[in-house]
């Protein structure tokens, strides 16, 4: 079988599964038997559907259904139109920028999708195409079945093996992160592992108790970047923005718990937010300076100043 034929059959399955889901819940075992492929192949098809915006719920083991609010009925799409929509969603996700934003609006209208409780959670922008990322499918498989993973991980301190209990996949700034606890450690002590730093991965037969309901959602909280997930105590910050920076912050919620005042006589606005890590706001300040300044706390102002000084020192050398 050629690669082209294989790809055609894959999208044929995805298209048919989408139409079945629109009619009601589907059973993974039934689909596997009907299409003559492994259960793992059907699992991948379902995850592809889930990650292209048609969010899925699992009302019982091995059964999948559209999450509340997800439907193909809004546009009354034909089979050909729906096939193009799925393919374009994957392509637009990798392009980013204005193309991705424009297509996301169309796609949101077409699916009326709400966020479901999937193994995947995008922190902030969802511009990347996760289907091409290494280890994604095995990690998703382990999360959904509460299976332990043995990984060789190259951290900043060096490479080493560890056994992890994965609970969520996070996407932020074109990187995948796995939220997991160490086997044998505290069940609620979750850490973030960049998936591209995993050198090898093995799904173990051992299972771990899943986290209590709502815990992972609480840990993710209102984070808008990966820096704010499962970090230190809350830090209340205040900014002052003028010009284009003021326009930007009035039109886009980019900081957690962001509140923007009405513009003053000079057009400037005061911005309040609650962060858990300085890097949730430092890149924003560096990007928009000098039209944005930190009015508090002092430690955050010093953090930005030290980064600027370090940069100037390097460029002067």
**What CATH number should be reported for the domain holding residue 28?**
1.10.10.10
Paired with 247 in beta bridges are none
pLDDT at site 124: 53
Residue 224 lies in a domain: no
Residue 127 lies in a domain: no
CA dihedral 134, 139, 140, 146 (to 10 degrees): 180
Residue 50 lies in a domain: yes
Residue where one domain finishes, among candidates 75, 90, 116: 116
Residues 42 and 112 in one domain: yes
Residues 38 and 104 in one domain: yes
pLDDT tens for the chain, residues 1 to 317: 333 335 556 666 777 787 788 888 999 999 998 888 888 889 888 887 777 667 788 888 889 998 877 776 655 555 445 555 555 555 555 555 665 666 566 555 554 443 334 455 555 544 444 434 557 778 888 888 899 999 999 887 888 999 999 998 887 766 788 999 999 888 788 999 988 888 889 999 999 998 888 888 888 877 778 888 877 788 999 999 999 999 989 888 888 889 999 999 999 999 999 998 899 999 999 999 999 999 999 999 999 999 999 999 988 86
The C-alpha atoms of residue 47 and residue 45 are separated, in whole angstroms, by 5
Cβ(280)–Cβ(225) below 8 Å: yes
Residues 245 and 299 in one domain: yes
Residues 191 and 293 in one domain: no
Residue 223, classified by CB atoms within 10 Å of its CB into exposed (0-12), middle (13-18) or buried (19+), is: buried
Q: For 31-63, what is the HEC assignment?
A: HHHHHCCCHHHHHHHHHHHHHCCCCEEEEECCE
Residues 104 and 136 in one domain: no
Cα→Cα distances 138→40, 66, 196, Å:
10, 22, 14
Residues 104 and 145 in one domain: no
pLDDT at site 94: 54
Residue 228 lies in a domain: no
Residue 170 sits in a domain whose CATH number is 2.30.30
Tell me the whole-structure pTM to 2 decimals: 0.54
Give me the number of domains the chain comprises. 3
Return the biggest CA–CA distance within the chain: 69
Residues 186 and 247 in one domain: no
Residue 267 sits in a domain whose CATH number is 3.30.70
The residue range of the domain holding 37 is 3-116
Residue 217 lies in a domain: no
pLDDT digits (tens, 9 = 90+) for 89-129: 555 555 556 656 665 665 555 544 433 344 555 555 444 44
């Amino acid at each position: 079988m050629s690669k082209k034929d294989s790809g055609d059959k894959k999208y044929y399955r995805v298209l048919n599964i989408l139409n079945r889901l629109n009619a009601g819940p589907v059973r993974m075992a039934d689909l596997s038997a009907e299409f003559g492929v492994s259960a793992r192949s059907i699992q991948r098809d379902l995850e592809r559907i889930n990650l292209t915006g048609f969010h899925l719920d699992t009302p019982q083991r091995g059964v999948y259904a559209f999450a509340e609010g997800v439907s193909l009925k809004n546009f009354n799409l034909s089979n050909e139109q729906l096939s193009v929509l799925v393919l374009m969603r994957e392509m637009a996700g990798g392009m980013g920028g204005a193309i991705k934003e424009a297509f996301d609006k169309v796609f949101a209208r077409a699916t009326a999708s709400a966020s479901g409780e999937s193994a995947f959670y995008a922190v902030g922008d969802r511009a990347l195409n996760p289907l091409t990322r290494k280890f994604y499918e095995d990690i998703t498989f382990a999360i959904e079945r509460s299976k332990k993973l043995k990984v060789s991980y190259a951290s900043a301190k060096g490479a080493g093996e560890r056994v992890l209990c994965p609970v969520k996949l996070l996407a932020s700034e074109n990187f995948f992160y796995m939220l997991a606890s160490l086997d044998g450690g505290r069940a609620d002590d979750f850490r973030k592992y960049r998936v591209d730093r995993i050198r090898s991965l093995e799904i173990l037969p051992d299972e771990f108790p899943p986290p209590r309901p709502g815990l992972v959602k609480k840990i993710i909280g209102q984070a808008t970047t990966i820096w704010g997930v499962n970090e230190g105590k809350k830090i209340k910050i205040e900014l002052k923005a003028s010009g284009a920076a003021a326009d930007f912050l009035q039109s886009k919620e980019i900081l957690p718990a962001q509140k923007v005042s009405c513009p003053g006589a000079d057009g400037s606005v005061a911005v309040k937010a609650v962060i858990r890590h300085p890097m949730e706001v430092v890149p924003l300040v560096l990007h928009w300076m000098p039209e944005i300044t930190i009015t508090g706390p002092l430690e955050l102002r010093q953090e930005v100043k030290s980064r600027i000084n370090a940069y100037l020192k390097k460029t002067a050398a």
